[in-house]
Amino acid sequence: MASYEAIKNLDDDDDVEMALPRTQISESRSATVSSINGEHNNNNIIEEQRSPSSRQTKSQRLVSLDVFRGLTVALMILVDDFGGLLPALNHSPWNGLTLADYVMPFFLFIVGVSLGLTYKKLSCKVVASRKASLRALKLLALGLFLQGGYFHRVNDLTYGVDIKQIRWMGILQRIALGYLLTALCEIWLKSDDTVNSGPSLLRKAVALILSVVYLCLLYGLYVPDWEYQIPTEPSSVPKTFSVKCGVRGDTGPACNVVGMIDRMILGIQHLYRRPIYARMPECSINSPNYGPLPPDAPAWCQAPFDPEGLLSSVMSIVTCLVGLHYGHIIVHFKDHRVRIVYWMIPTSCLVVFGLALDLFGKHSFYLFLAHCSTDVLFFVDIDMVLLVGMHINKVLYSLSYMCVTAGAAGILFVGIYLMVDVCGYSRMTLVMEWMGMHALMIYILAACNVFPIFLQGFYWGSPHNNILKLIGVGT
């Protein structure tokens, strides 16, 4: 699940170039600035076509980007509504990869591609940075409102936010963080030459640094024992559970660093209260669906855990930076074949590298540590690292997960680009294109329960006698 506000509103009076054949591309000027709910997407351009008598200006779009975004929105709705019926459509309970696990990386990837087009030319870096920061803050605020708890208990018709338990992180917040850092990298490390210029290499260095920091924290920090409480009856004392850890490098649900950092910085009361690992066989007799606890369920099964936490968001930013590189290829290369070649090389490498990490990651990381300084080895438990791998894990946003999903996004984008922008089969994708142009609106209405709440607002006699009850939805 994810929204695409970060793509929808990024026009900063910058030139953006359309994926047109070489003979059709001319200098273009973008003249529309979008607001937080603007209609103009960042992949819009105005192409000037010179004729002997006059200049004719018309709006063009990188249609494949809209289609890709719309397809991802449709996938989001599909897994939200039918994920509980078919395990292949639902999120993986922990390690592994399902269709639902591609949604978030796809949106983040498109954020990066669009930023590569939006900031093709800059008039003032300070002004662009200020606009990017304001848009990120708006998206953060929207995420807090939609996912911070206001729409909890929709079917009970009780809404509101308990500030003591508000959820600080979420899907929109993660996209806002990825958008902001990627935009700042693009603004201040701007290159007007080629994708292999000095500033471009610096952006790749940022992605590398973020990955190394993530790995060192994930496998190096010590996770102590911890406890949490869950409420029982209103008049009863909350029940306390103790989780035994005392380890380093654990990537299981109970003792990983991702959860520890969120508990320490955000507070356990501000984390997501329906963790995905509650669907694991250890925690549910109906696994891979939610269900009652088994008699011997571990203590951590009911602990809050945020799938969009702080440390995992570090790796999600790398997905945006990967998409940014694909956007640069559109800007710097005009020939379709050259673009496709330059896209498929990193795509193939990402997929192969991600799968290799999933299979052999523990050995690769051991070799990495063996060549590091003794200072690194001091706080990393080598024996523990050897016991764990770098499995594909959406909740932790592992390095292997980032590589495989970013590579899959590249493959899908290339396929859509070939079909829509190269071959011209755009009529077949009109619905997806429309959904991509209105992604945020669809997300708010469909995924954030705004539309069901609107329907529940009209009732007769009692709030429970509403339109949803009439059609058999909700309670």
Going by their DSSP bridges, the two strands 55-61 and 44-50 should be labelled as antiparallel
Residue 348 has φ and ψ, to the nearest 5°, of -65, -40
- Per-residue confidence of the chain (475 residues) as pLDDT tens digits? 433 333 333 333 333 333 333 333 332 323 222 322 333 344 433 233 333 333 333 345 688 898 999 999 888 888 877 766 777 788 888 988 999 999 999 999 999 999 988 887 777 889 989 999 999 998 888 888 877 666 655 555 556 667 777 888 888 899 999 999 999 998 888 765 555 555 667 888 899 999 999 999 999 999 999 999 887 766 677 888 999 999 988 899 999 999 999 999 999 988 988 888 999 999 989 888 888 899 888 999 999 999 999 999 999 999 999 999 999 999 888 889 999 999 999 999 999 999 998 887 654 454 555 554 444 433 444 444 433 458 899 999 999 999 999 999 999 999 999 998 888 887 777 888 888 788 877 777 766 666 666 666 666 777 667 776 776 655 5
Q: By C-alpha distance, which of 342, 418, 353, 336 is closest to 390?
A: 353
Which pLDDT does position 79 carry in this prediction? 85
Which pLDDT does position 24 carry in this prediction? 35
Q: By C-alpha distance, which of 400, 402, 408, 392 is closest to 348?
A: 408
Residues in the chain: 475
Which pLDDT does position 143 carry in this prediction? 83
Q: Tell me the C-alpha to C-alpha distance, in Å, between residue 435 and each of 67, 412, 440.
A: 8, 17, 9
Helix (H) or strand (E) holding 60: strand 55-61
Residue 48 has φ and ψ, to the nearest 5°, of -90, 120
Residue 228 has φ and ψ, to the nearest 5°, of -150, 165
Partners of 240 in beta bridges: 229
CA–CA dist 329, 334 (Å, integer): 9
Q: What single letter denotes the amino acid at residue 167?
A: R
CA–CA dist 230, 437 (Å, integer): 42
Which pLDDT does position 102 carry in this prediction? 94
Q: Where are the domains of the chain?
A: 63-221+310-369+387-471
Residues 306 and 266: beta-carbon distance below 8 Å: yes
